[in-house]
A = this chain, B = another copy of it.
Amino acid sequence: MTTTYCLRIKCPDSVGIVAAVSGFLADNHGWITEAKHHSDASTGMFYMRQEVRGDSLPFSLAELRRRFQPIAERFAMEWSIRSSDERQRVVLLVSKQDHCLADLLHRWRGGEYAIDIPCIISNHEDCRQLADWYGVPYEYVPIHRADKDAAFDRIEALYREAGGEVMVLARFMQILPPALCERYFGQIINIHHSFLPSFMGAKPYHQAFDRGVKLIGATCHYVTSDLDAGPIIEQEVVRVNHSHGAAEMVRLGKDVETITLARGLAYHLQDRVVIHENKTVVLT
Contacts and interface: CB of A to CB of B under 8 A. Distances in A.
B282 A242 contact: yes
A29 B36 CA distance: 21
A280 interface: yes
A200 to B, nearest CB: 10
Contacts of A174: none
Contact of A32 (B39, B231, B251, B255): B39
A108 to B, nearest CB: 12
Interface residues of A, number: 64
A80 interface: no
A215 B242 contact: no
Contacts of A279: 211-212, 242
B39 A18 contact: no
Given A195-B195, A212-B280, A255 B259 contact: yes
A278 B243 CA distance: 15
A15 B40 contact: no
Interface stretch (A20-28, A81-89, A185-193): A20-28
A281 interface: yes
Nearest to A241: B282
A70 interface: no
Nearest to A235: B214
A153 interface: no
Contact of A19 (B22, B37, B98): B22
A266 B13 CA distance: 27
Nearest to A277: B212
B198 A212 contact: no
A64 B120 CA distance: 51
Contact of A232 (B18, B27, B34, B214): B214
Interface of A: 15-16, 18-20, 22-23, 25-27, 29-42, 56, 98-99, 102-103, 106, 110, 112, 133, 195-199, 211-215, 217, 231-237, 241-243, 245, 251, 255, 259, 262, 278-282
18 contacts: A15-B31, A16-B26, A19-B23, A23-B23, A34-B39, A36-B36, A99-B106, A133-B133, A195-B198, A196-B213, A198-B198, A211-B278, A212-B279, A212-B280, A215-B217, A237-B237, A242-B280, A242-B282
